[in-house]
Amino acid sequence: MPEDLQARLVELQQEFRLGEERLGRLVRHEAELRETLLRISGAVQVLEELTGPEGEKKGEGGSDDAPKDAGPVRTDPSS
C-alpha cells in the first residue's frame, strides 16, 4: 500500500477512536442529565401538589379523605 494511503488509514482510525470516545462521554452526560431532569420533575410535582388548591389543605392536617376526628387507624383486624 502506498505510504500516503497508509498514513490516511492511520489518521482515519485515530479519528474514529476519538469519535467513539466522545460519543461515550456524550452518552454518559445524557444519562446524568436525564437523571437530573427526573429529580427536578419530581421536586416540581411535589411542590405543585403542596402549593395547589388541594395542597394547602393537605399540608395542614393530613389527607382530606379522613375525617378530622377519626382517631387512630387500626391495622390489626382482631382488635
The C-alpha cell at 23 is 460519543
The pLDDT tens digits for 6-21 are 999 999 999 999 999 9
Helix axes 3-51 and 53-61, enclosed angle (nearest 10): 70
What is the residue extent of each domain of the chain? Answer: 3-57
Closest CA to 59 of 42, 46, 72, 73: 46
The C-alpha cell at 78 is 382482631
Encode the chain (79 residues) as per-residue pLDDT tens digits.
689 999 999 999 999 999 999 999 999 999 999 999 999 999 999 999 999 887 665 555 555 554 455 455 555 555 4
Kindly report the pTM of this predicted structure.
0.55
Distance of CA 62 to the CA centre of its chain: 28
